[in-house]
Amino acid sequence: MTDNETTTSREDREQLRKEQEDRLLTAWSAPKSWRYWSAVNNSEVGQWYTLTALGFLVFAGVSALIMRAQLAVPENDLVSPDLYNQLFTLHGSVMMFLFAVPILEAVAILLLPELLAARDLPFPRLSAFGFWCFLIGGVFVCGSIFFTAAPSGGWFMYPPLTTDPVQSGIGADIWLLGLSFIEIASIAAAVELIVGVLKFRAPGMRINLIPLYAWYTLVVGGMILFAFPPLIAGDILLEMERAFDWPFFDADRGGSPLLWQHLFWIFGHPEVYIIFLPGVALMAMIVPTFAQRPVVGYSWIVLAAVGTGFLSFGLWVHHMYTTGLPSVSLGFFSAASTAVAIPTAVQLFAFIATVMLGRVVRSVPMLFAAGALAIFVLGGLSGVMVAMAPFDWQAHDTYFVVAHLHYVLIGGMLFPVIAGVYYYFPFVTAKALSEKVGRIGFWLMFVGFNVAFLPMHFTGLRGMPRRVYTYPEGLGWDWLNLISTIGAFTLAAGFALIVIDILRPKGNQPYCERNPWNAGTLEWLEEMPDKPWGVRSIPVVKHRYPLWKDPDFIGKVDRGEFYLPDAQELRRETMVTSVLDAEPIQCLRVPGPSFLPMITAGFTGAAFIAATFHLYWPTLAAGILALASLLFWLWTGTAEIPEKDEKDVGFGLSLPLYQSGPQSVGWWAMFITMLGDAAAFASLIFAYFFYWTIRSDFPNDVTSEGALIYYALGVAAVVGTWLLTLGARYWNLTGAVFASRLAMVGAIVLALLSVAALLAGPYVDGLDPRLHAYPAIVWILALWTVGHIGIGAIMLAYCFARSLAGRLTPRYDIDICNVTLYWHFAAITGVLAPMLVALFPLAA
């Protein structure tokens, strides 16, 4: 009797499990055939992203080989000087912007949800949008070389070389607009990843239990958020100078080429750590697995990573030691530059300590990790050398620097990435890469790399400048260069082997067993082959290495013994938790496949590309289409009103399906995006004060009384808009829907008035932006401000329409909450910028 009962209940359970799995499968399966390209799930998008970034690596690698072939012997004429310039510029830019940063975002998109036991990222369509932007922009920038129209001013694009239309041609525009477009995609991915780490962790995963990879992702995301905006601000200024002759960098008309160097390196130096830290993050996952023990010094590592992130923003001047800065600055930045070596050393020693306490399992990922250590440490040491300003006076712009930067980048990024490819290949494809090919590939790459780049230190010390297309015989560079070229081709051969192994069809190769490396972290919960739902049920996490702690952990997850084991409504659902303690606060429905991100990216790309060729009407048309598709996407795909308030997620826990304000992921995304936006605004303000510190003719005009009145009106209208927006949110919440709508309309009207007033200010003063850097920067600040107010007005109009359509109600008020948050920031911009522009000239 009892026997019978257990059998039936077991059968019931099996039956239930089967049904649950069917429902999850329906909800999460990737679309089929041509619709496959509408996929937005992190596994598909992550794979496309990774493969595309690897494709750009191959492209940039081939350009490097052509350069090395050209440099093999003196007075070579394989490529022309101009083509050589294009090659090194593209090589550097593609490696940095299209390979290094994207690959790490790609890997994070792929890994992060599984690592946190979430089913997707918070904004799947945003990742898809980022991917399509990346693909379009990248192909556009790389394609230019086939028309010998590629940028040729070096990857840091220094003016005045790059503002001279004859010297630079269309290439500089391609660089500025093509890459800005991609930088926006990078920022979008960063927002996505930050919100992911903050809000998508498995219940119970408090901040001291977060996997190190996720910590690094958080730090790097934050760095992208503050590092890219200065570059975007710089790009805007440079492009304005190129397209409309606004003299920001022209010393004859009140500008300064040094401003570009500052803006570029405020971005460029953190960039190096943005590239390097994710490499360390991969090591932080690989090393404990193969040492078969938890990482030693978890808190040290987290602290060091955060410290590196902060310090890296204080080093940029070490790229400018030879620009004639005062000794005090040089001393300060020398000290800061050496200081950053300390947290780096802490992280590396923590890994060595982990290995020491563990028992190492030899494997290809570990081999690459060891190679990375050997290379990176050397790069770090030569970095300390060039951090000494006096030594840098000698080494600056020589091959010593080329050697140094490749040691850092290849040791800090390329080798860890390949280690990661070997480690995570089974995770993505459920098949393993060949161990033997891996070892041969490693040794070819490792030896080839050192043969190529070690001699370059000496080539540089013996006086060979970087970025020269050829050199005369007899200066002592001939043999060294030949050796470097041989090494580069050896390195390439090793890499090619690995690529072949990655691409080789693996049809009859058996699947890996589950958790093939016997790792301890959550991403290895995954079945082999992988199921589209990510995790079968969302576990409660109480340990840093749950798979090691509890041998039956995988079993429990599989049997659906944790949260959300089902998809009753056939929707894609995952859990949102609180920022610090990861307590469950919402069951979030994430959107499924859609072509809208692709279409929006297409129009946005078209706008940027048309602008490159100065086709302003098509730019405008494409821009309007992009905005329309964006609004359509938001309207149909976001802030959806659920059919019920709450949902039972298991364990008797019922979670709301809708949250707004700081509880919702959308609010966090807006907040984080606006921090980045504020960073760009701060960069423009920095530019204003920079001119003032170095030029006696700045400002070269005083604000007239008439203009002052306009500025004052503008500021008053901005404040009014902000207050009305606050009112709209408040009245909506309290149910006074009509008052709320009225406030929205009033806010829009005031916003438009403020736009007119703020433009009238510089206009009545007769400021001509082509005459001097002062009027130019005033106009840029004015345009920046009214641009933000204009976008804010569109947002308010959107809310108004949503309210009329019944999609924004007192209970369901995400839209107006997020728009209010936007207006907090826009109001700060709208008050600060006009006050600065109007009053500073009077005070100065």
Q: What angle do CA 339, 340, 346 make, to 5 degrees?
A: 100
Asked if 481 interacts with another protein (CB under 8 A), we say no
Region of residue 39 (phi > 0: left; psi between -120 and 50: alpha; otherwise: beta) = beta
Contact 659, 585 (CB under 8 A): yes
Tell me which of ligand HEM, another protein, none is bound by residue 355, counting a contact when its beta carbon lies within the kind-specific cut-off of 5 to 8 angstroms. another protein
Buried b (16+ CB within 10 A) or exposed e, 557-580: bbebbbbbbbbeeebbbbbbbbee
Among 95, 280, 330, 808, binds ligand HEM (CB under 6 A): 95
Q: Which is nearer to ligand HEM, 58 or 621 (CB)?
A: 58
Tokens, residue 85: 């310039």
C-alpha span between 521 and 292 (Å, rounded): 12
At 176, is the secondary structure helix, strand, or coil?
helix
The piece of 191-199, 408-416, 563-571, 772-780 that touches ligand HEM (CB under 6 A) is: 408-416
Q: How many residues form the binding site for another protein (CB under 8 A)?
A: 54
Distance from C-alpha of 68 to C-alpha of 481, rounded to nearest angstrom: 8
**At closest approach, how far in Å is the CB of 612 from ligand HEM?**
20
Beta bridge partners of 656: 646
The binder of ligand HEM chosen from 24, 45, 53, 64 (CB under 6 A): 64
Q: Does 807 bind ligand HEM (CB under 6 A)?
A: no
Does 396 help bind ligand HEM (rule: CB under 6 A)? no
Strand-pair partners of 648: 654
The contact pattern for ligand HEM, residues 491-510, with x = CB under 6 A and - = no contact, is x-------------------
Among 318, 466, 572, 729, binds ligand HEM (CB under 6 A): 466
Residue from 53, 100, 519, 669 binding ligand HEM (CB under 6 A): 100
401 binds ligand HEM (CB under 6 A): no
* Residue among 227 and 367 whose Cβ is closer to another protein: 367
Phi-psi region of 417 (alpha: psi -120 to 50; beta: other; left: phi over 0): alpha
- Binds ligand HEM (CB under 6 A): choice among 96, 191, 284, 793: 96
Measure the CA–CA gap between 612 and 597, rounded to whole angstroms.
23
Stretch binding ligand HEM (CB under 6 A), from 88-96, 541-549, 704-712, 797-805: 88-96
Each residue 377-416 as x (binds another protein by CB under 8 A) or -, in order, gives xx--xx-xx--xxxx-xxx---------------------
**Residue 374 interacts with, from ligand HEM, another protein, none (CB under 5-8 Å by kind):** another protein
Separation of alpha carbons 49 and 131, rounded Å: 6
Contacting another protein (CB under 8 A), which of 45, 350, 751, 760? 350
Told to check if 141 binds ligand HEM by CB under 6 A, we report no
Residue 514 burial (CB count, 10 A) = 14
* CB 543 within 8 Å of CB 209: yes
Q: What is the DSSP letter of 278?
A: H
Min dist CB 374 to another protein, Å, is 6
Cα torsion angle, 157, 401, 223, 46, sign: positive
Helix 415-429 vs helix 364-387: angle between axes, to the nearest 10 degrees? 150
Buried b (16+ CB within 10 A) or exposed e, 257-287: bbbbbbbbbbbbbbbbbbbbbbbbbbbbbbb
Pick one of 51, 62, 345, 620: the residue that binds another protein (CB under 8 A): 345
Which one of 370, 405, 564, 833 is in contact with another protein (CB under 8 A)?
Answer: 370
Q: Which of 89, 577, 612, 820 binds ligand HEM (CB under 6 A)?
A: 89
- Return d(Cα 615, Cα 592) in angstroms, integer: 36
Q: Which is nearest to 555 in space by CA: 532, 581, 525?
A: 525
Site for ligand HEM contains 467 (CB under 6 A): yes
Q: Please tell me whether residue 348 binds another protein under the rule CB under 8 A.
A: yes
Q: Which residues contact 794 (CB under 8 A, 6 or more apart)?
A: 627
**71 touches another protein (CB under 8 A):** no
| 451 sits near ligand HEM (criterion: CB under 6 A) | no
CA angle (414, 516, 21) in 5-degree steps: 110
347 binds, among ligand HEM, another protein, none (CB under 5 to 8 A by kind): another protein
> What residues numbered 146-175 form the site for ligand HEM, per CB under 6 A?
154-155
Query: What sections of 765-813 are H helices per DSSP?
Result: 773-804
In sequence order, the β-bridge partners of residue 577 are 584
Q: In Å, what is the CA distance from 613 to each residue of 136, 174, 178, 616?
A: 16, 9, 11, 8
> Which range binds ligand HEM by CB under 6 A, 92-100, 527-535, 679-687, 829-837?
92-100
Binds ligand HEM by CB under 6 A, chosen from 488, 528, 715, 837? 488
Select from 91-99, 175-183, 743-751, 759-767 the region that touches ligand HEM (CB under 6 A): 91-99
In the complex, least distance from residue 54 CB atom to ligand HEM, rounded to whole angstroms: 12
Shortest Cβ 386–ligand HEM spacing (Å): 14
Residues 433-472 that bind another protein (CB under 8 A): 458, 461-464
Report if residue 359 touches another protein, rule: CB under 8 A.
yes
Contacts 24+ apart (CB under 8 A), 1-8: none
Residue ranges binding another protein (CB under 8 A): 296-297, 300, 304, 326-327, 330-331, 334-335, 338-339, 341-342, 345-350, 352-360, 370, 373-374, 377-378, 381-382, 384-385, 388-391, 393-395, 458, 461-464, 475-477, 480
Residue ranges binding ligand HEM (CB under 6 A): 61, 64, 67-68, 88-89, 91-92, 95-96, 100, 154-155, 402, 406, 409-410, 413-414, 452, 466-467, 488, 491
